Homo-oligomer: A and B are copies of this chain.
């Protein structure tokens, strides 16, 4: 890595279906100079998250799409190189949306400091960052797990799912995870201590899920869509809550699944069982005690996390493409530069 060249990955084409490597382009540009009220940060970790698939499309969404030729958006942990920004000095570690590049500029309010004495700085992109906050506020505002209730969460070895399940266990719930491989299930049931974790590829997944939820399901945290949702639907109890946080099974879809149209099953069930199905994104809700609670649970060993760290900015596109296929195992990060705290 050069101190004068900024490598950056831009969106070269809007993916049709599954993104291909040629939808991205690695460019080199001069490292920008921070102007008045700006600071320059060197990227250490880049976070790769499913929501980025939406930013690659022009379909209306809650955020502006990335333009063609623009640097891909993404959360980053970086280190301040030069600063004309009050409160930030060279060497400080910060988290912000630096994007898929070696260096990024930030203005007031665009980054906050992270304390490496509290937890590894990479957690600012995971359990103590956007994914963890998503889990925390989505449960607080929509899932509302009560002691003794049963919560099911898919994509459960990922950063949102693993936080959702562990918070719900701390809240006194029975927690059943759903994941895409036996290795992930072993981790979730073993390391994270979920009551059960099921591989959704199993031929008898529906029967296993029913057996794992003898009292039905009170909260289904929707990260996935597709077959898992269909299997969960008949098991939802009266007044169950379904926070809709992600639908990764459908992100690459270019057409609707074959019929029949199952929409009536969903709405009928919503009526008869008086379900609440509610979409949200993390910024819809104030963080509240998120950092206090999660930091405490982390220190107490009640909250664990797993990272899947890939080396080198140039590998971000392949890592992201794999993410949409469930190939990561834990919070997917790209180490863009060495972590000075490790």
> What is the bound-complex CA distance between A256 and B266, given in angstroms?
11
Which residues of the partner chain B approach A281 to less than 8 Å between Cβ atoms?
A: 274
Residue A271 at the chain B interface, CB threshold 8 Å: yes
A238-268 CB contacts (< 8 Å) to partner B: 238, 244-247, 250, 253, 255-268
* A247 close to B268 (CB less than 8 A): yes
* A255 close to B250 (CB less than 8 A): no
Which A residues are closer than 8 A to B by beta carbons? 54, 60-62, 222, 225, 229-230, 238, 244-247, 250, 253, 255-281, 284
Offer 22 A-B interface pairs, CB within 8 angstroms, sorted by A: A62-B238, A225-B264, A225-B267, A244-B267, A244-B270, A246-B271, A256-B259, A256-B260, A256-B262, A257-B260, A257-B261, A259-B261, A260-B261, A261-B261, A261-B263, A262-B262, A263-B266, A266-B266, A275-B279, A276-B277, A277-B278, A278-B278
Chain B nearest Cβ from A248, distance in angstroms:
11
Known: A271-B246, A271-B279. A265 touches B260 (CB 8 A): no
> What is the bound-complex CA distance between A259 and B264, given in angstroms?
12
A245 nearest CB neighbor, chain B only? B271
A260 nearest CB neighbor, chain B only? B256
* A247 close to B261 (CB less than 8 A): no
* A260 close to B264 (CB less than 8 A): no
* A60 close to B258 (CB less than 8 A): no
Chain B nearest Cβ from A210, distance in angstroms:
15
A61 nearest CB neighbor, chain B only? B272
* B270 close to A278 (CB less than 8 A): yes
* A267 close to B62 (CB less than 8 A): no
Which residues of the partner chain B approach A275 to less than 8 Å between Cβ atoms?
A: 277-279
* A284 close to B278 (CB less than 8 A): no
> What is the bound-complex CA distance between A269 and B265, given in angstroms?
17
* B264 close to A274 (CB less than 8 A): no
Which residues of the partner chain B approach A262 to less than 8 Å between Cβ atoms?
A: 256, 261-263
Chain B nearest Cβ from A209, distance in angstroms:
18
Which residues of the partner chain B approach A54 to less than 8 Å between Cβ atoms?
A: 272
Known: A229-B267, A261-B258, A265-B256. A276 touches B274 (CB 8 A): no
Chain B nearest Cβ from A4, distance in angstroms:
41
